[in-house]
Structure 1
Amino acid sequence: MLDIAAICLVVTALLAYVNHRVLRWPATIGVMAIALLISLTIVGLHALGVDHGLKAYESSLLQSLDFSEVLMQGMLSFLLFAGALHVDLGTLKRYRGQIALLAVVATCASTVLVGFAMWVLLPMLGLPVPLMDCLLFGALISPTDPISVMGILKSIGAPKSLELVIAGESLFNDGVGVVLFTLLLGVAASGTIPTVGEAGWLLAQEAGGGLLFGAVLGWATYALLKSIDQYQVEVLLTLAAVMGGYALATHLHVSGPLAMVVAGLIVGNSGRARAMSDTTRRYTDMFWELLDEILNAVLFVLIGMEVVVIDWSPSLVAAIVTAIGVTLVARLLTVGLPVGALSGLFRLPAGSWRVLTWGGLRGGISVALAFSLARGDGRDTVLGLTYGVVVFSVLVQGLTVGRVARTVCEGRA
């Protein structure tokens, strides 16, 4: 495991260096693009019979590294906590209704729309997939990842309200998506469809329990931080809260992702304002920002490399193109349309629906959930669809969303 971690870190550092010197794209997009290009080159050389075992080596490396386990049980807790740490809770409360609609209602609606649409369309492409697998695809592809989008919005001076809604939606819809995926996975395993009451109870236990546990964890961490003034210990306490809290949430069968978001909001607001000295605040911010950047870079390099384990075929490529269209339409119908039609309710600048629609990037959590599915034909198709949609959203949407956002800013000016 140490060798694998060393290889991943060295490759990520080298690709980050190349991106900074040559491409100068947003870090996560750049390292993923380079990793994908290298992997595609290796696949091409393998097809020509001149790769000298590079494809076999990369495949064995990735197979020895359980992507789903690494992200879901390793990186995700840190990424969500770090993301929530700098969200202004006071402003978030003013938009809590809008964020709840987007994170809960829109995610559930997108899951259903994408699932049923793919169930109808895939047989036409020669890839029939059971309805449950299609719904699982809908659940795992609906959560969004704002990593690159947030940096772009900040650089062009986008309205703070738009930044907040995008960040808040993404932080919470990750947890909602995982809960929906887990619920559907349980239905698929048992073969029985739960009643509305049973489904509601499971949802309340996972999501509600995660929110409650996160609040307890956050306030407990805040109390400990307030009782001392030594930045080394305080940074260590935040790290322990994330690692220990996520592990405990898993054992309690409540949503770890939602717990990390709530704990991060409490520590990042009450903790940073009333329980930390200026020195502690500075070191805590530096630690979590650096950790966030490193983990995101490693994650997107791994996503770029995963192309070698996909079983490509003409039918799968056609299905990916279809899935890209379906997910974009679903995003438009469940997020863009309500934001545009209910502008008075959402209180966002005119044209924000375009940024929210096109800026709904998919990331590592979608790929990790796809890898967690049981092996089989349905899993291989879902994995390929997920990978294709994620790559398109990061490389195409991620590199062009700045232009869309600028039209909103210019219209506001």
Structure 2
Amino acid sequence: MQILDLATLLVCVTAALAFVNARYWKLPASIGVTVGGLGVSLIIFALVSLDVPFARDAVNLVRGIEFNDFVFQGVLSFLLFAGALGVNSHALWALRGPVLTFALLSTAISIALVGGATYALLGLFGLQVSFIYCLLFGALISPTDPVAVLGMLKQAGVPKRIETLVAGESLFNDGVGVVAFAVLAGIAAAGGGGGEVHGPAMSAGGVALFFAQEALGGLALGLFLGWVGWLALRSVSDFVVEVLVTLSVVLACTAIAANLHVSAPLAAVAAGLLIGSLKDRRPEGLSSRERFEGFWHLADELLNIFLFALLALEVVVVRFSGQSLLLGLIAIPLVLLVRTISVYLPVLVLGRRRDFNPYTRRLMIWGGLRGAISVALAFTVPAGPERDLFLVMTYVVVVFSIIVQGLTVGWLAALASGVGGELE
């Protein structure tokens, strides 16, 4: 099949899933599309077992998609920019302490605990996997997916301060998690793990330099490009130009970050927050504010639905086994337990200055959804049996997170709102 055939198939499947969900299931878009996509994948598997030529072509088509490239070099920057654009930058600045503490400390705690627990779990099953690979699994599964989390927040209607806290943490811990994954992947490759992973010399100084380059470099790039876009938007009153300027900022963040080896996710977040501050400071700052926000809302929804449809279809490239599936099921409560610890420990650090309501903590724990970013990172683990195992485990955790947590977090958010669950 040609690229046009691939694009046509994916768009048609996505449109069909979105239509069925909106007409009959009426679930949140990302959840309904994920469920429908998994159903389509199972049907394809059944047709393949019956040796239906079209099904074989469809499987080969999906296997030909570089899912990680599609996520990291395609839609992720647009989704993060749109998400950051919708966050009140001044409210986020007021919560900068908690947001940065959770984004840095919580992510680091989670990576270490998931890595250690995974190493012990695999040992119980007689699987000899190096500790650095277990930390790699911790790095890819620890960050909450901002795509899934922001979609959940829009549906749940949580109090504004909780929304700002959860959204801010998710936006930044995604970038931190990706950088941590890159560092650990470089160490794994340097230790003989194989795979095309580029990183610095893996001394302590090299790791620190690489982390600073990726994280701080990404933020600096995003602030610079966002500032350029902010200046341009301040001086025009044309909807088309406003859209073109913001599109060019997002594309520049992605392309330049790739060439400078800095974090594109953090660059997109920084640019989105800075440009978003224009409409926060001056409600009339963008002459066609409603249409501008409507464009980015539409782009966010379309890309979000398309991403989750593709995520569900990617199951056809995952090599499941009974053991890996069982390990994935065990990983679900393990990841939730670690998420609980990684939220409560920073709360203790911040507790002297801020009173985190119990419902706020529970919402942060249960609302910390994993999504397509974790699966995309799993695809980039250096080739070998570890990648096949971690890909299955990651997929099981992500599907549970999107469907089970995604369907129930709205109830928890309503409960939090009902008892005054905002930060004091």
Q: What TM-score, normalized to structure 2?
A: 0.91
2:412 counterpart residue number: 404
Alignment of 1:99-178 (within 5 A): 99-150=99-150, 152-154=152-154, 157-178=157-178
Give the alignment partner of residue 31 of structure 1, picking from 24, 30, 33: 33
Query: Is 1:365 matched up with 2:373?
Result: yes
Q: How does 1:309-348 map to 2 (within 5 A)?
A: 309-339=317-347, 342-348=350-356
- The match for 2:57 is 57
Deviates most, 276-285 or 73-82: 276-285
**What is residue 244 of structure 2 aligned with on the other side?**
236
Cα distance change, pair 54–144 in 1 and its aligned pair in 2 (3 A): farther
Query: Match for 2:227: what amino acid?
Result: W
Aligned residue pair count: 411
Give me the whole-angstrom Cα distance separating, in 2, the residues matched to 1:100 and 1:278: 29
Instruction: Determine if contact 1:78/1:292 at 8 Å carries over to the other structure.
Output: yes
Change (3 A) 1:222 1:341: closer
CA–CA distance in 1 between the matches of 2:207 and 2:150? 34
Answer yes or no: is the 8 Å Cα contact 1:336–1:354 preserved in 2. no
Given that 2:155 and 2:410 are in contact with CA atoms closer than 8 Å, whether structure 1 keeps it comes out as: no
How high is the sequence identity, in percent, across the aligned residues? Answer: 45
Shift of residue 222, structure 1, vs aligned partner: 0.8
For the Cα contact (< 8 Å) 1:217–1:241, is it kept in 2?
Answer: yes
Aligned equivalent of 1:221? 229
The offset of 1:277, in angstroms, is 5.0
- CA drift of 1:65 comes to 1.2
Aligned partners of 1:214 and 1:263 also within 8 Å: yes
Counterpart position of 1:269: 277
Provide the rounded CA distance (Å) in 2 between the counterparts of 1:209 and 1:271.
26
Task: Tell me whether 109-118 or 185-194 shows the greater mean CA deviation.
Answer: 185-194
User: How far does the alpha carbon of each residue in 1:113-155 deviate from its partner, in whole angstroms, 9 at most, with x for none?
Assistant: 1111111111322443222221111111111124455455455
2:18 paired residue number = 16
In the alignment, the residues of structure 2 paired with residue 154 and residue 15 of structure 1 have an alpha-carbon distance, to the nearest angstrom, of 20
- For 2:418 and 2:44, the matched residues in 1 are separated by 43
Q: Distance in 2 between matches of 1:75 and 1:61?
A: 19
Report how far residue 342 of structure 1 moved. 4.8
> Kindly tell me: are residues 183 and 146 of structure 1, through their superposed partners in 2, closer, same or farther at Cα, counting changes over 3 Å?
closer
1:411 maps to a residue whose letter is: V
Contact 1:225 1:275 in 2 (8 A): no
Provide the C-alpha distance between the structure 2 equivalents of 1:251 and 1:127, rounded to a whole number of angstroms: 38
**1:314 Cα shift?**
1.2
1:247–1:276 CA distance, 2 compared to 1 (3 A): farther
How far apart are 1:320 and its partner, in Å? 0.3
2:419 aligns to what SS in structure 1? helix
The structural deviation recorded for 1:344 is 4.9
What's 2:398 paired with? 390
CA-CA distance at 1:371 after TM superposition: 0.9
Q: Report if aligned partners of 1:359, 1:401 keep a CA contact under 8 Å in 2.
A: yes
Report if aligned partners of 2:102, 2:346 keep a CA contact under 8 Å in 1. Answer: no
Amino acid at match of 2:183: L
- Separation in structure 1 between the aligned mates of residue 181 and residue 156 of structure 2, nearest angstrom: 35
Which moved further from structure 2: 142-151 or 283-292? 142-151
CA distance 1:341–1:178, shift in 2 (3 Å): closer
Q: Does the 8 Å contact 1:42/1:54 carry over to 2?
A: no
Look up the SS of the partner of 1:412 in the other structure: coil
Structure 1 CA distance, aligned partners of 2:413 and 2:389? 33
CA contact (8 A) 2:62 2:314 kept: yes
Structure 2 gaps, min length 5: 193-200
In structure 2, what is the Cα distance between the partners aligned to 1:347 and 1:172? 22
Shift of residue 281, structure 1, vs aligned partner: 1.8
Compared CA separation, residues 157 and 188, structure 1 to 2 (3 A): closer
Q: CA deviation at 1:52?
A: 1.7
1:298 counterpart (306, 309, 316) = 306
Listed one character per residue, the Cα deviations across residues 225-247 of structure 1 (whole Å, up to 9, x for unaligned) are 12222211121010011002210
C-alpha change, 1:348 and 1:284, in structure 2 (3 Å) is: farther
For 1:278 and 1:204, the matched residues in 2 are separated by 34
Q: State the one-letter code of the partner of 1:228.
A: V
In 2, Cα distance between the equivalents of 1:253 and 1:278?
33
Residue type at the aligned position of 1:42: I
Counterpart of 2:288 in structure 1 is: 280
Distance across 2 between alignment mates of 1:222 and 1:357: 35
Q: CA deviation at 1:81?
A: 0.4
Pick closer, same or farther for the CA change 1:154–1:374 going to 2, 3 Å: closer
RMSD between superposed Cα atoms in Å: 2.1
Correspondence for 1:256 = 264
Whichever residue aligns with residue 130 of structure 2, its letter is P
